[in-house]
Structures are given as structure tokens and as C-alpha cells.
Chain A
Amino acid sequence: MPVAALPDVRVLGQLLLMQSVVTSLPDNSILPFVVQGLADVPGVMGVQFLAPSSADDKDATLRFRLACSARDHGELLFSVSDATAFAPYADHLRNFAFMLAVILEERQQRRTIDAQYQHLEQRVARRTAELARERDSAQRYLDIAGVMLMALDEQGRILMVNKKGAELLGESESALIGMDWFDNFLPAGEKAAIRQVFARLMAGETRLLERYENVILTRSGVKRVTAWNNTLLRSEAGAPVGTLSSAEDVTERRQAEERIRELAFFDQLTSLPNRTLLLDRLKQGLVTCLRNASHGALLFIDLDHFKSLNDTLGHDTGDILLQQVARRLTHCVREEDTVARLGGDEFVVILAGLNGSAKEAAVGAEAVAHKILSSLNDIYHLGNTVQRSTASVGVTLFDGKQVSAEELMKQADLAMYRSKDAGGNRISFFDPTLELAMKERVVLERDLRRALADGQFLLYYQAQVGSNGRLCGAEALLRWQSPRRGLVLPGEFIRLSEETGLILPLGLWVFEAACRQLAVWASQPEMARLTIAVNVSARQFHEHDIVDQLLQVIQRTGAKPERLKLELTESLLLDNVADAASKMSALKARGVCFSLDDFGTGYSSLSYLRRLPLDELKIDQSFVRHIVANSSDAVIARTIVALGQSLGLGVIAEGVESDEQRVFLASIGCVAYQGYLRSRPLPVDDFEQLVRRASCHA
């Protein structure tokens, strides 16, 4: 049996090398390379490659089919000249052929994949181009739309915007895509609120507002008024995913409308409302007054001697004056009031929401009218000349009942003519009784100022009985000894004093007079033990330096502070409890006592009673008056007494007029009292006699 020869390692190396090299070769180089290399195999005379489906007329000693995955890549045909020399390599060549087939198959598959990939790439490119054309076409439709079109996603970012929108917003379309609409294009004060509404819309918590107008900001910060028409974008499941909106820039249209409105309702010279708008506002004012049960006032203002000024200085200068008058009038009133020009030199002011009675409304209206007169009396700089002017003012009040707007205009006009007839530069009321009241008020204020300067005020003293049943002091009560009016009680002038600020010097005068009286009494044995209670007004006590003022008076007069009892009202204390407590403590430290006046009529909170250094509670006379007959008054009085006892405070009742009242009060523990039962308020001499008589009886 012949022994098969061993294969030459070098030849096997060649086969291996060819396998390695062919992987680096281009497809068309592989077979020529292999055919050339295999010719070196021992015993081989020649090698050929036969492609699949080629005519098989080749002579060959041996054939190796290049087959892989059932695909035929052809055959390698070997012409063998020395079968013995060739024999050791036959199997290796078969393996080589298979490896070659695998490589060829892999190349074939790669070519197929490459071709498919190329085909796909071509299809994708074609489709991309088609989509781009469609998008361009759609964009052209969007761009020729005369309005801004914009889509927002559910976060409020711009998904799409057309050319018109880009022009309106002042930014390129590409730069706008992805921008946050709310952050970038809404005024700062509205961003948060509108974004919240949008978020609620996307969450399905609110309905879409299909049409509205708002102001947007362009990229350069210019405000534009836009009219919106909105549609909700929904997912296939129906959930909101954004909005599609059209917006029209209506800025110019609205400006034109505003201009038309201005022409229709505003005076062109002064920009004030004209007669038409004035009447409209007046009618609204009448309705409001009727609804709120308040008053309003109509002021008719006419410049004095304007015609001669106009004739002398010319119409242009007159127009400048009218413009300055318009500005001054506007500065004299509140924002909710109306200043209008009827024409020529006639102006009208509507004051709205004047609270209180007709008389109180008249006071308010008169104050504004005075302010107007004063303002219009100031000099005017008219170009190169300086001019003075005055005005006549007619005032009528309204409460929305019965009288029409037109009628009110006539009333104010008539009142204005009364001012004009009286020489101008004055105020007249249409209602003669109101006018009289206003005049009286002016006179009263003038008399009060004179009374303070001339020393027409004096103190009366009303005796106070102490808890031991003996006369222990007095409440100082202000009286005005007017040479024209006689003796005037505080009820007639205190309110005006408070409104005009006269209460401050008047209050200080009362305090000083009381202190002087205490100093005088200190040297009289039967009077020296008495206390004087002095009322302090809220306005006075709120003066920041009131403590210093009072202490200086005490020091100046030599009064003993422990004989002083300051009567404060609950409302005064409640305005600022901490401030009141601080001031009271400072005075208390110097010996001054405090009584809480009119106790029971106010808030009567225990919490503040504890915080204040009080000495006494004073039961208001309104509870005392019917204390015997009215059980609820009796209960209140009893409660006040119990409260005072529990807080360690004295309790005194005021307005005690009968012995029945005194006995009842004593039965509930309140022995101290003040009232006509013991004595009416008396001049100081009479009071001193009362004290001396009481001392004798005691």
C-alpha cells in the first residue's frame, strides 16, 4: 500500500497567506490572485476559474466547486500533471475552495446589502426631497397668509411660525422655533398669569378662549396689539398637546379707533374729557351714588375776565393759559374724579364718592373748590408774559335721586354765575342752605382762631365723687366765651377744631389751664387734695412729642402730676396700642394718672386693658342714663365694675343725675361718680365754693 507523501509546509503557508490577502483585495482581484497563486501548488500544470452557468467545455483533472449557502460561485479547475505530487494537497485545496467560497459569498452579500442600502438611500433622498417640496409648498401657503400663524407645543414653545409672524415678532423663523412664547413675547407683568392659564388648558382644566386681544412684545421690545383666533391641538388620544393660533396685528386699527374716540370724547386743546364724555361720566356717577348711598359734587368753573385776556394777549396765549388751567385742575382732584372742558374758559369737575351727610359732602366739595381757586390764582407763565387769573366756581351736590345730569349742569352753572355776580374768585353752592352752612363754617373757623389768640376759652369744672363718697376732684370741661355767640359748648366747635387742626393748640391750652389751676389749688388747703381730669383728643395724643409737650407744661406750671388724670378714649388707644402704652408709661412714671373715658362704648378688649397702665375705668353716661330701668345697661355696668375690680382699677360713672342711679351703682360696687346729681359743670369760682361747702358739711 503506497504511503501518501506529506504536504510541503511552504505550500500550506501559501494557501494560508492567500486566504489572508484576498480579504484585502477588491472583488475583481480575488480570483485572478488565487488562480495565479494556486499554479504554484506541486503537480499542478494550470488553474482556471469557471464562472457559474458557463459552458462547461474545459478540460480539467480536478474541479473544486466554490459553493456556500447553496449559492454557486463557480468552480476552480485544476489541470494536474503529477497526480502523486498533487495528492497531499487535494484536501487542503478543497478546504481552501470552501474558504474562498465563504469569502466570495460574504462579498456577494455585502454587494447585495450595499446595493440595497444604496437603493434605500436613494429612496430616502427622493422622499426627503418630496417632503421638503411639500414643506416648502405648505410654508408658501403659510407665508402668503396675511396674518401671523403660530403653533405652540404643550410647554408653550414655538413649533411653527410663518413669515408674517416672524416679521411681526422681529426675529427669523428659524430662530423663533423652540423659543418659549411666554418668556419672550409677553409683557413682564402678564407672563406668569397667562402661562398658568396655558398650563391649565394643557392639563384639560379649563376651556380654550378662542378669541381675544392682548399686547405682545416684539424682540426689540415694541408693544403690539394682537387679535388672536385659537384652536386646540390634540393627540390621537384626545389630550391637548398645544395650540394653533392666528394673530392679526391690530395696533394701528386700535390706535385709529382710540383717535376717533379721543376726537369724539376729548377736548383737543387740553386733552380733557369734553361735554359728551362729561355727561356720560356724570350719569355713571349718579348711578353709583344711588347704589352706594353716597354723594357727589359737580363744580362748574369759569375763569374770570378770560375774554379780555384773550383779546389782549391773543388766542394763542389764551390757549396756553387754558392748557395750564387744565393741568392745575387735574392736580387738584383725585384720580377717580373727572375734570372736563366744556369749551371756551368753562371747566367742570365731578367729585365722586363723597361719604357722609349732604353737609359733610359739601364740606369736602368746598375744600376741593378752595384748593382749585387757590391753584388757579397762582401766576401763569405765558411765553414772555406773566399773568394772574381768578375763577368763579359753582357747586351742586347730587345723590343720584330725582335730578338728571343735565339739570345738575344747570344748577352748577347757576351757582357759578352767583359767584361771578358777586365779583368772581369765589365759591357758590346751588343749595342756599348748604351755602349758608359753608359760610357759617368759615366764620366759625375764623372766630375759633381769634378766640384762641384772644383768650376766649375757659374751663368749667364738674365735681367727681370718689369711692369714699366724698368730693375728690373734677373733670375740666372746655367752654368758649364768645363775645358774639355767648357761652359756646364744645359740641359746636370741637369737630371743626379737629378738621382744621386747631384741636392741637386748643388741647394744649386746656391742659396748661388745668395745670395752672392745680398749681393755684395746691396752696389752698381745702383744694390741694383735688384731682383734675383732662380730656386728651386722639389727634393730640398721637403727636410724636406729646409726652415732652405735657411734661414741659407740668414743669412750667408747677402742677403736681399725681393730681392730673388724663382721660383717653378707647378708640384713641386702639389706633396704636404699643405707641399709646409707651407714651402712657412715660407719663405714668412722672405720676400722671389715666382714666379710660366712655368705657363700654367701644371694643373693650381685655387684652389691651392689661397692657396699658390705666388707673380708672369710666362708665359711659349712655349706660348710666337708663341703668335702673334697662336691664342690659345694668348688666354692662355691672360687668365694667367687675372688670375694673378684677384688674385692680377704680371705676367711676359719669352722667349720674338721680339718687336712684347713684344707689344702684353703689349696689353693684361703683361708688365714685360724676353728674348733675352732685353738680353741673361750674366756673372755677363756683366750683371752689362747692368744694368749701362740702368740706364744711364733712
Chain B
Amino acid sequence: MSIEPHQVSLGFTRQGFPAGVHVCQIFSKDEERLDAVLKFLRSGLEGGERVACFTDDLDDTRLASYLAEHSLLLAEHAASGAFSKTSASAVYFADGRFDPERLLGLLRTFHQDALADGFPAARVIGEMMADVLRLAGLARLLEYEARVSLLLREHPITAVCQYDATAFDGATIMQILKVHPLMVIRDAVVHNPFYVPPEDFLARHC
């Protein structure tokens, strides 16, 4: 007997996706980034999921005001454990290092705890900082993203990775695309034709 995967909305369109998709958003304006964060968080909370946000910029007032317009009370969701917000720098560069192993463990635990706490699914959105290239290099970043795709098969966290096109150069962005199966382009979610399955990618590059 096969189990139907949990269907989720990413918040950008009405289109449904199986939980555990790995999405990349390339943005060049701050409004685009924040708009995506708000929509993704709202759809997750509306779906009863546990949601986490790794950001250095989104302030609680703006988020609370936005959610209130959609009849969602941030304080209640934070108190129930459905919502958490953490500094992106603190998450990705704890101890001043970019450690994919730790991050993958963190994601795994996040998903397990969510299910244990009764949430039907979990999602996370985070902005990857350009400092990662200085601290770990592009190869480690791509390896991390590929392993995230593998992890999500077992722990279907719906994840959106945000990349600032003004902070990463064009060639790097093309490389980053190759490790994300889905992309958000101007509020549309599309399958990425550059996507290289993680097994192939890791076999080729690691």
C-alpha cells in the first residue's frame, strides 16, 4: 500500500506540491525576497505546518501585520511552536563555520520534532549568505544543497533557498541552480531544466 505524499502549497500560486520539495529563489530586490518569505510562511501556517525562517532582516512587526491581514496571529503561532524565526547568520555560520553536516542534522531534527509534535508537515525558508563562499567555498555549498535534496526524500521538509543575485556572481548562480529541482521566478514555480539529481551531482563533483 503506497502512502500518498502530503500535498502543500508554496504560497506563490494555487499549485500543490508534495511535501519535501527543494526550491531555489534568485532575487535581486529586497522586496522580492520579503514577499516570498511572507507568502511561504503564511501558506505553511494556513496548512497547519511547523514553519521556520532563517533571516537577518524580516522584523516581527511587518510579519505580524502581514499575517494579521490574512487572519493569522503571529503571537499565537509562535506560542504554539508552529512558527520560529532565527538569524540566518546564526544558523548557517554557527561558530563562524559553514558545516553542512550540522545543518543537515538540524534539518533532520526539525522535521522529526515537527511530526512528533503533531504537525502534518514542516517547512523552512532561509537566505544563504554570500559569506559562505569565503568561509567554505562554492563546492561545499553545492555539496550541501545536493545533500539537502537527498535528505528531503527521507525527511520531506519543504524548503526554499534564497540567493541574492547581487551578492553571488552569474556563473555561481548557474551552478546553484543545478542543485535545486524547482525554481521560483516572478511568483511562478517551475521545474529547473538545469537540475542535476544529487546522486549524479555528488558522484561527479565529490
Chain A interface residues toward B at CB < 8 A: 10-11, 13-14, 16-17, 20-21, 24-26, 28-37, 40
Known: A10-B193, A24-B185. A29 touches B169 (CB 8 A): yes
B166 touches A26 (CB 8 A): yes
Partner of A25, one of B170, B190, B192: B170
B192 touches A24 (CB 8 A): no
B175 touches A21 (CB 8 A): no
A17 touches B26 (CB 8 A): no
Complex CA gap A34/B186 in Å reads: 19
CB distance from A27 to the nearest CB of B (A): 10
B183 touches A36 (CB 8 A): no
Partner of B170, one of A11, A17, A34, A40: A34
CB closest chain-B residue, reference A31: B170
B130 at the interface (CB under 8 A from A): no
Q: Which residues of A contact B28 (CB under 8 A)?
A: 24-26
Partner of B185, one of A20, A37, A40: A20
CB closest chain-A residue, reference B173: A33
CB closest chain-A residue, reference B188: A20
Q: Which residues of B contact A29 (CB under 8 A)?
A: 165-166, 168-170, 173
Name 14 A/B residue pairs within 8 A (Cβ), A-sorted.
A10-B193, A11-B193, A14-B194, A17-B177, A17-B185, A17-B193, A25-B26, A25-B165, A26-B28, A32-B170, A33-B170, A33-B171, A35-B170, A36-B174
Complex CA gap A453/B166 in Å reads: 125
B27 at the interface (CB under 8 A from A): yes
Q: Which residues of B contact A35 (CB under 8 A)?
A: 170-171
Q: Which residues of B contact A28 (CB under 8 A)?
A: 169-170
CB closest chain-B residue, reference A12: B193
CB closest chain-A residue, reference B190: A17
Complex CA gap A11/B193 in Å reads: 7
A17 touches B174 (CB 8 A): no
CB distance from B171 to the nearest CB of A (A): 4
A21 touches B193 (CB 8 A): no
A36 touches B193 (CB 8 A): no
Q: Which residues of B contact A33 (CB under 8 A)?
A: 170-171, 173-174
Complex CA gap A25/B175 in Å reads: 14
- Categorize the interface residue count of chain B: 20 to 34
Chain B interface residues toward A at CB < 8 A: 26-28, 165-166, 168-171, 173-175, 177, 183, 185-186, 190, 192-194
Q: Which residues of A contact B177 (CB under 8 A)?
A: 17, 21
* A-B interface pairs (CB < 8 A), number: 62
Complex CA gap A33/B170 in Å reads: 4
B171 touches A17 (CB 8 A): no
Partner of A17, one of B175, B186, B192: B192
Known: A24-B185, A25-B165. A30 touches B170 (CB 8 A): yes
CB distance from A183 to the nearest CB of B (A): 45
Q: Which residues of A contact B194 (CB under 8 A)?
A: 14, 17, 37, 40
Complex CA gap A20/B26 in Å reads: 11
Q: Which residues of B contact A16 (CB under 8 A)?
A: 193
B171 touches A32 (CB 8 A): yes
Q: Which residues of A contact B183 (CB under 8 A)?
A: 17, 21
Complex CA gap A36/B169 in Å reads: 11
Complex CA gap A31/B171 in Å reads: 8
CB closest chain-A residue, reference B168: A29
Complex CA gap A10/B192 in Å reads: 9
Complex CA gap A24/B31 in Å reads: 13
Complex CA gap A31/B169 in Å reads: 10
Q: Which residues of A contact B170 (CB under 8 A)?
A: 25, 28-36
Q: Which residues of A contact B193 (CB under 8 A)?
A: 10-11, 13-14, 16-17
B175 touches A36 (CB 8 A): yes
CB distance from B188 to the nearest CB of A (A): 9
Known pairs A21-B183, A24-B165, A26-B165; list 12 more (Cβ under 8 Å). Answer: A10-B193, A11-B193, A14-B194, A17-B192, A21-B173, A29-B168, A29-B173, A32-B171, A34-B170, A36-B170, A36-B174, A36-B175
Complex CA gap A538/B186 in Å reads: 105
Complex CA gap A37/B176 in Å reads: 11
B174 touches A37 (CB 8 A): yes
A32 touches B169 (CB 8 A): yes
Shortest Cβ-Cβ A-B pairs, 4 listed: A33-B170, A29-B170, A32-B170, A13-B193
Complex CA gap A32/B165 in Å reads: 12
CB closest chain-A residue, reference B185: A20
Known: A17-B193, A24-B26, A26-B28. A36 touches B166 (CB 8 A): no
Identify which of B27, B165, B166, B174 gathers the most chain A CB atoms within 10 Å of its CB.
B174
Complex CA gap A30/B177 in Å reads: 14
Complex CA gap A24/B185 in Å reads: 9
Complex CA gap A24/B170 in Å reads: 11
Complex CA gap A16/B166 in Å reads: 21
Q: Which residues of A contact B166 (CB under 8 A)?
A: 26, 29
CB distance from A279 to the nearest CB of B (A): 88
B185 touches A21 (CB 8 A): yes
CB closest chain-A residue, reference B196: A40
Complex CA gap A632/B190 in Å reads: 125
Complex CA gap A13/B183 in Å reads: 13
CB closest chain-B residue, reference A40: B194
Complex CA gap A17/B168 in Å reads: 18
Q: Which residues of B contact A21 (CB under 8 A)?
A: 26, 173, 177, 183, 185
CB closest chain-A residue, reference B165: A25
CB distance from B145 to the nearest CB of A (A): 16
Q: Which residues of A contact B185 (CB under 8 A)?
A: 17, 20-21, 24
B173 touches A25 (CB 8 A): yes
CB closest chain-A residue, reference B164: A26
Complex CA gap A30/B26 in Å reads: 13
Q: Which residues of B contact A17 (CB under 8 A)?
A: 177, 183, 185, 190, 192-194
Q: Which residues of B contact A11 (CB under 8 A)?
A: 193
Complex CA gap A29/B192 in Å reads: 19
Complex CA gap A37/B173 in Å reads: 10
Q: Which residues of A contact B165 (CB under 8 A)?
A: 24-26, 29
CB distance from A576 to the nearest CB of B (A): 82
CB distance from B5 to the nearest CB of A (A): 24
Complex CA gap A8/B169 in Å reads: 28
Complex CA gap A21/B165 in Å reads: 10
Complex CA gap A13/B166 in Å reads: 24
